[in-house]
Structure 1
């Protein structure tokens, strides 16, 4: 399903490293690169990834039928998971860091969907435009397309796979971008990695509330999520909320086209 695109990304490796292509089979396309000097591969990776679509990873796992036998979304739909319970926390604006914010003047959710997922057809891309039309500015819409399709909606696929034993949270402290929540969970990161910024909302009351939440139901009890946010006056907001139905509708779309998005 995604093999054609990924193999086309692999072909430049041969030109940049000087190794020869033996066969176009999934295994034999990969083998010549294994013998190449690691520094040559690193330079090739930098050059190829540098011209890739903004905010995406050029080299990703693919379903080869042997090591990875089927799409993860399909496995989740079949309940094939390895774990006893699940706690998933997403950030409110996961996609922003992976979208070029200077494209506000030309942002278009329909066109962006085709750029991000070239296997979608025009009707499916139009559906993306319709689903995201009411979410604010065109730039906000493409931020949401990126964040929901790749990070947020797959979280709900996980929640369904762990039916009756999953918990969901949303971290919404502004700017609530991808991975911002991590330094709140692990404050030692600020010591271990001093180049990271101090948590923007450095409030002792929030730290206490973050550790001691109200009753936190499993997600399948009323689609309950625990919201972690703050007020305009910097008072902590930690309370249960219900998952937005419109979000779940958009996620159902991304689940339907999972075979076209390499998920």
Structure 2
């Protein structure tokens, strides 16, 4: 039986396995999968970096937790009726970002393989610095300061002795210190598990797994931009706050590329959503040139996280209570997990038309509704968006992605 492994959390900071009912996935797949939902360390507990952690600890501990679980699945899932050769990993938000990390892990050479396919919903790729870069070292110093370990001769040993509640308080305070919409406890390039910037590995085709299904939401960025700045924000100022190393010339290019997208606050929303969620998804799709499928969740307002209720209906409601849409949208994931092709439909009520592989005309499947309240599911292309994504890929060394 196929194995569906889910990695779920929000921004590598909050969330837990208990929030998601794996039984929903089993029901939607008509008992055709074994579902495993992984818990891993979050915040500074899972992603504290810096040279001292490298010297006497584990970088990207949260990702290593996930890898440990995937190895456990390989060893034990057959006892639950699962097939270790047919594992598909999937996540949303930072869970989807984790999927991306495992796709590029160990330069795409994880051996033995831990999964055969990957699925991502709103893949999250913020700036990912070298473990000993200025930003990770500053975050380490802030955590040390907040926990009273600033004067310790061995700061890491001091941190290990600190009460968990004190560490959690530091976790919250340091996380709140970042620019609005950005997060400090995220993966780093550690030189072992993640050997180079993810966009570099994807461009080189150094990936684990054989196939990919990826879905993004139309308005990924809105939830992460301070909407109260609508009267003052500009695209150039916003992008330099988001990516300080980008420089004035590139900021001017961003202003030009996003000039036609509504008001300045709409441009800021699009910059956040495309640079950190949508475009990295395209980069990942391109790394699976003959085996990738792309979908877009566009039910108004199409915000980040609005799609989650369709995957886990027992945990969260949905914005479109239509049986045919529910069957078709969530069914894409079930169908891909079992056959690596969303055209091989488990449920006869699935009304989605033929999926083309993404690189055939840069095709993707739109999941929307009509004004009359009917499902609107059809293939589309996004030429202007892809042009903006080409820019973001070209400056990956400056955005640290």
TM-score, structure 1 normalization: 0.89
CA deviation after TM superposition for structure 1 residue 129, in Å: 0.8
| C-alpha distance 30-184 of structure 1, shift in aligned 2 (>3 A) | same
Are 1:256 and 2:386 counterparts? Answer: no
Report 1:231-250 matches (<5 A): 231-242=370-381, 244-250=382-388
CA deviation after TM superposition for structure 1 residue 90, in Å: 0.3
Query: Could you tell me which residue of structure 2 aligns to residue 131 of structure 1?
Result: 257
**Residues 192-240 of structure 1: CA distance to partner in whole angstroms, max 9, x if unpaired?**
xxxxxx2121122323443421011110111110000011121110011
Q: Secondary structure at the match of 2:136?
A: helix
Query: Could you tell me which residue of structure 1 aligns to residue 345 of structure 2?
Result: none
- Distance, in Å, in 1 between the alignment partners of 2:377 and 2:185 is 38
Query: Could you tell me which residue of structure 1 aligns to residue 326 of structure 2?
Result: 207
| C-alpha distance 19-73 of structure 1, shift in aligned 2 (>3 A) | same
- Distance, in Å, in 2 between the alignment partners of 1:31 and 1:128 is 44
CA deviation after TM superposition for structure 1 residue 149, in Å: 0.4
Counting matched residue pairs gives: 251
8 Å CA contact 2:356, 2:363 repeated in 1: yes
For 2:284, which of 158, 161, 166 is the aligned residue? 158
CA deviation after TM superposition for structure 1 residue 29, in Å: 7.2
**Residues 39-64 of structure 1: CA distance to partner in whole angstroms, max 9, x if unpaired?**
21111111122232111111222223
Unaligned runs of 5+ in 1: 191-197
- Distance, in Å, in 2 between the alignment partners of 1:150 and 1:21 is 37
More displaced stretch, 35-44 vs 82-91: 35-44
| C-alpha distance 98-30 of structure 1, shift in aligned 2 (>3 A) | farther
Query: Could you tell me which residue of structure 1 aligns to residue 182 of structure 2?
Result: 56
Query: Once superposed, what is the RMSD of the aligned Cα atoms?
Result: 1.9
Query: Could you tell me which residue of structure 1 aligns to residue 240 of structure 2?
Result: 114
Are 1:188 and 2:314 counterparts? Answer: yes
8 Å CA contact 1:20, 1:32 repeated in 2: no
- Distance, in Å, in 2 between the alignment partners of 1:188 and 1:231 is 26
- Distance, in Å, in 2 between the alignment partners of 1:88 and 1:74 is 19
Are 1:68 and 2:194 counterparts? Answer: yes
Q: Secondary structure at the match of 2:184?
A: coil
- Distance, in Å, in 1 between the alignment partners of 2:303 and 2:257 is 22
Unaligned runs of 5+ in 2: 1-128, 332-349
- Distance, in Å, in 2 between the alignment partners of 1:119 and 1:159 is 26
- Distance, in Å, in 2 between the alignment partners of 1:160 and 1:32 is 45
| C-alpha distance 32-151 of structure 1, shift in aligned 2 (>3 A) | farther
TM-score, structure 2 normalization: 0.59
CA deviation after TM superposition for structure 1 residue 245, in Å: 1.4
Are 1:18 and 2:148 counterparts? Answer: yes
Q: Secondary structure at the match of 2:140?
A: helix
Q: Secondary structure at the match of 1:260?
A: helix
CA deviation after TM superposition for structure 1 residue 262, in Å: 1.9
| C-alpha distance 16-135 of structure 1, shift in aligned 2 (>3 A) | same
| C-alpha distance 21-135 of structure 1, shift in aligned 2 (>3 A) | farther
- Distance, in Å, in 2 between the alignment partners of 1:114 and 1:29 is 32
Are 1:227 and 2:366 counterparts? Answer: yes
8 Å CA contact 1:63, 1:71 repeated in 2: yes
- Distance, in Å, in 2 between the alignment partners of 1:258 and 1:168 is 22
CA deviation after TM superposition for structure 1 residue 12, in Å: 1.6
8 Å CA contact 2:243, 2:398 repeated in 1: yes
**Larger relative CO (CA 8 A, sep 6+): 1 or 2?**
1
CA deviation after TM superposition for structure 1 residue 158, in Å: 0.5
Q: Which runs of 4+ in 1 moved over 6 A?
A: none
